[in-house]
Amino acid sequence: MKNYILRRILNLFFVLFLVSIIIFLLLRLAPGDPAKVIAGEHSSPEIIEEIRIRLGLDKPLITQYFIWFKQILRGNLGTSIQTRDSIMKELLLRFPNTFELSVFAMIFAGLIGFPAGIISAVRRYSFLDYVSMFIALLGVSMPVFWLGIMLMMIFGVKLDLLPIGGRLSVYTSLKPITHFYLLDSLITLNGRAFIDTLKHLILPSIALGTIPMAFIARITRSSMLDVLNQDYIRTAKSKGLRQNTVIRKHALKNAMIPILTTAGTIFALLMGGAILTETVFSWPGIGKYVVQAVYARDYPVVQGSVLFIAFLIAVTNLTVDILYAYLDPRIHYQ
């Protein structure tokens, strides 16, 4: 087990190394001179040359990569061209926002998708099954942008129940400590901020959680159906166990593995930045940060963030894989 984890961690660093090369090359090979783009319609050659030197673009590609690589080894992702702030600092500042939203989206997705999947599987081909699978299909195909705007229009403007976007109302003050707003409001015993934060989380969590919800419902259904056809379930049933007990004690646990894999992957992807949701709901997270960097041709931010996101995804995957061992004693690591 120890060996396995060690190997996986080494593996993880190798993957990150590859990612760093790919993203670096992709950005460099993309057409267009960043210096020219930054200078815009101002076209004096001296200005452009100066910008090129400032960005280090006058150096050979290999040198540029190694300068960057050396920085990364020191845990420094570089500084943004646009804001000139440390990229690591900005990412860490935004990470709690994205994390909090992702957790709530997953809670929403799980709370609805998981039971819906179980019910569908148990009552296969029933009316309930059709309804929940139809909703799942709808959920997967719903454009997040549109869903977000609709939620805002209905619950924000028409019914006036929930705020339209942002992390916290401008009238609510909260002293940031961990930058996880819910945690911060608990620590500082700020009830108003706690409730305000929750209110702001609801609509974006629904928007972001809808697709994962649909995925979880479908994977739960198919995984449960698989398990329900197994011999040991038939044995359990023929022993005269109650349906509920069979499902809870025998089927569910065995059906969990594919569900957990899917949920883990989805969660990792959400943390990588829910670009559309964050944009619609003015959520100051990682996704929005990266998108703006792309628009502003802020290459260091793009490559730094991609690496950071790759790291998050790899770590989440690793955690999920390790969790298997505890869930399923049949899995052995060598």
How far is residue 21's CA from residue 37's CA, in Å, rounded to a whole number? 23
Among 171, 231, 240, 334, the residue binding other proteins under the rule CB under 8 A is 171
Nearest distance from C-beta of residue 103 to other proteins, angstroms: 19
Instruction: Write out 110-133 in H/E/C secondary structure.
Output: HHHHHHHHHHHHHCCCCHHHHHHH
* Cβ nearer to other proteins, comparing 122 with 152: 152
Nearest distance from C-beta of residue 52 to other proteins, angstroms: 11
Among 262, 288, 300, 309, the residue binding other proteins under the rule CB under 8 A is 288
Q: Is 90 in the site for other proteins (CB under 8 A)?
A: yes
Amino acid at 69: F
Q: Is 78 in the site for other proteins (CB under 8 A)?
A: no
Burial 23-55 (b: 16+ CB within 10 A, else e): bbeebeeeeeebbeebbeeeeeeeebeebbeeb
Question: Which residues lie below 8 Å from residue 162, measured CB to CB, with a gap of 6+?
Answer: 155, 156, 199, 200, 202, 203
Residues in contact with other proteins, shown as a per-residue x/- string from 203 to 242 under the rule CB under 8 A = ----------------------------------------
Among 2, 3, 29, 40, the residue binding other proteins under the rule CB under 8 A is 40
How far is residue 145's CA from residue 10's CA, in Å, rounded to a whole number? 38
Among 289, 308, 310, 316, the residue binding other proteins under the rule CB under 8 A is 289
How far is residue 107's CA from residue 194's CA, in Å, rounded to a whole number? 18
How far is residue 212's CA from residue 218's CA, in Å, rounded to a whole number? 10
* Cβ nearer to other proteins, comparing 267 with 283: 283
What region, left, alpha or beta, does residue 241 occupy, with left being phi > 0 and alpha being psi -120 to 50 degrees? beta
Nearest distance from C-beta of residue 291 to other proteins, angstroms: 9
Give the sign of the dihedral formed by CA 101, CA 106, CA 109, CA 111. Answer: negative
Among 160, 238, 244, 326, the residue binding other proteins under the rule CB under 8 A is 160
Among 19, 34, 118, 305, the residue binding other proteins under the rule CB under 8 A is 34
- Please state at what angle helix 87-122 crosses helix 286-295, rounded to 10 degrees: 120
Q: Of all helices (H) and strands (E), which one includes residue 233?
A: helix 231-238
And the tokens for 90? 């900005």
* Cβ nearer to other proteins, comparing 39 with 103: 39
Burial 127-162 (b: 16+ CB within 10 A, else e): eebeebbebbeebeebebeebbbebbeebbeeeeeb
Residues in contact with other proteins, shown as a per-residue x/- string from 172 to 201 under the rule CB under 8 A = x----------------xxxx-xx------
Nearest distance from C-beta of residue 143 to other proteins, angstroms: 13
Q: Is 29 in the site for other proteins (CB under 8 A)?
A: no
* Main-chain dihedrals φ then ψ at residue 86, nearest 5 degrees: -65, 130
* Cβ nearer to other proteins, comparing 117 with 148: 148
Q: Is 84 in the site for other proteins (CB under 8 A)?
A: yes
Q: Is 101 in the site for other proteins (CB under 8 A)?
A: no
Task: Tell me the window of 16-24, 38-46, 66-74, 257-265 that interacts with other proteins (CB under 8 A).
Answer: 38-46
Among 37, 61, 111, 131, the residue binding other proteins under the rule CB under 8 A is 37
Nearest distance from C-beta of residue 26 to other proteins, angstroms: 14
Residues that bind other proteins (CB under 8 A): 30-37, 40-47, 50, 54, 82-84, 90, 93-94, 97, 148-149, 152-153, 156-157, 160, 163-172, 189-192, 194-195, 279-282, 284-285, 288-289, 292
